Amino acid sequence: MKDEDPYVRKTAAVRVAILHDMNPTFVKDQGFVELLNDILSDANPMVVVNAVAALTEMNEQQTVIEVNSQMVNKLLTALNERTEWGQVFILDALAGYTPRDERETQNICERISPRLAHANAAVVLSTVKVLMKLIDMMPADSDFITQLTKKLAPPMVTLLSAEPEIQYVALRNINLIVQKRPDILKQEMKVFFVKYNDPIYVKMGKLDIMIRLAQQNNISQVLSELKEYATEVDIDFVRNERCVQTLLELIQTKVNYVVQEAVVVIKDIFRKYPNRYESIISALCENLDTLDEPEARASMIWIIGEYAERIDNADELLESFVEGFHDENTQVQLQLLTAVVKLVFSMSNQVCHMHPMTQI
């Protein structure tokens, strides 16, 4: 550990962790933990990295050393001069430290935030992890937090331009982040729109985040995207139950324009994948009276006609539209005619004398 050759020192640091795995008590009694702490100030980058890695691994088994303010200063000093993987080890070690006060918290944030611009994705994500933890330790109304969160979005967006495997890892991390702080990426909805050549695991990751970021001010954009996905060639993606469940949740918000957009999207999904999601039809029918846009009304009429056999009061529902047939948009009229004919063929002979048909 005190050898003049840095290669010997860095190798010895790793061996301490191995020795600790076999006999923790011996390592503690022989003062190896203190020796590791001492070489955190070593002039050789690899010695420092291996010492940090050894201490971190040992702490995972049992706490051998508390990360204190003095140790943090050593790590922060070492951060700028280390290899990218050395930076990851150091940042992971910093993630286990609880600052003494807000001033120290801000100081650590300022010193590690330049790592957000690093070319290595692992360094960026490790930096984000530390910053997310430190943000929780500051007052919620702090101006410093506002400025810091603005810095978090660009590097994460940049990761979504990398190869699919890195995108996937980034998406998994982003998913956790938006669950806690959706405001960080609330303006970045478009970067999560699915590309036709995205692998299925990337598509699913983007979809989940897009749904989590959905708000009243971007819901039309989200619904429009979901509508496009209904014609996707990737069947596994379109059949994702989460899509349909989320559309149902949107309908249950009872927000008029949201309900109407969702009905149009669901109609497209029903057309693409018949006899799969009929369980939500009853929820759609409950919102019949709120539909005033032609496309939404036509979509709902199509659903009623297509699934007339499974809707107990399909005739009554269509009758509510027939009563104002002559005032309807042409698109609605044509859909209504088609739906009534479907209803006639799907029910018993008595249906031939039903009021809606004779009125038309």
CA distance 231 to 299: 16
Local confidence band at 349 (pLDDT 50, 70, 90 cut-offs): very low
Predicted confidence at residue 125, as pLDDT, reads 92
More confident residue, 281 or 246: 281
Model pLDDT for residues 293-302, shown as the tens digit of each residue: 999 999 999 9
The pLDDT, as a whole number, for residue 147 is: 87
The CA–CA distances, whole Å, from 287 to 84, 91, 250, 297, 300 equal 56, 52, 12, 11, 10
| pLDDT for the residue 79 | 83
DSSP string of 220-274? HHHHHHHHHHTT-S-HHHHT-HHHHHHHHHHHTT--HHHHHHHHHHHHHHHHHST
How far, in Å, CA of 167 to CA of 169, rounded?
6
Structure confidence by residue, pLDDT tens digits, 203-231: 989 988 988 888 878 887 887 787 777 66
Query: By C-alpha distance, which of 297, 293, 308 is closest to 336?
Result: 297
Q: Are 168 and 201 in contact (CB under 8 A)?
A: yes
**Mean of per-residue pLDDT scores for the chain:** 85
Task: For residue 139, count other CB atoms closer than 10 A to its CB.
Answer: 9
Q: Identity (one letter) of the amino acid at 223?
A: L
Structure-token pair, residue 346: 């799907």
Listing DSSP states for 279-326 in one string gives: GGHHHHHTTGGG--SHHHHHHHHHHHHHTGGG-TTHHHHHHHHHTTGG
160 and 191 Cβ atoms separated by less than 8 Å = yes
Length of the chain: 360
84: enclosing H helix or E strand: helix 84-94
Q: Judging by beta carbons within 10 Å of its beta carbon (0-12, 13-18, 19+), is residue 284 exposed, middle or buried?
A: buried
The confidence score (pLDDT) of residue 350 equals 45
Backbone phi and psi for residue 145, each to the nearest 5 degrees, phi listed first: -65, -45
Residue pLDDT, tens place only, 28-60: 889 998 898 888 888 887 888 888 888 888 888
The pLDDT of 337-360, averaged and rounded, is 66
Q: What is the pLDDT of residue 83?
A: 79
**Per-residue model confidence as pLDDT tens digits over 87-109:** 898 898 888 888 888 889 999 99
Which comes out higher in pLDDT, residue 304 or 258? 304
Residue 357: per-residue pLDDT: 46
Specify the range with the lowest mean pLDDT, choosing from 63-67, 163-167, 289-293.
63-67
Contact 213, 179 (CB under 8 A): no
pLDDT of amino acid 109: 92
Q: Tell me the pLDDT band of 67, cut-offs 50, 70 and 90.
A: confident
Q: What's the whole-number mean pLDDT along residues 162-176?
A: 92
Could you tell me what percentage of the chain is helix, strand and coil, using 3-state DSSP and rounding each to the nearest 5?
75, 0, 25
Q: Which of 91-105, 247-261, 334-348 has the lowest mean pLDDT?
A: 247-261
pLDDT of residue 239: 64
The pLDDT of residue 237? 72
How many whole angstroms separate alpha carbon 288 and alpha carbon 260?
A: 10
Work out the average pLDDT over 306-325. 87
Task: Provide, rounded to the nearest whole percent, the portion of the chain with pLDDT above 70.
Answer: 92
What pLDDT does residue 81 have? Answer: 67
Q: Which two tokens stand for residue 194?
A: 């699915």
pLDDT at 7 over 90: yes
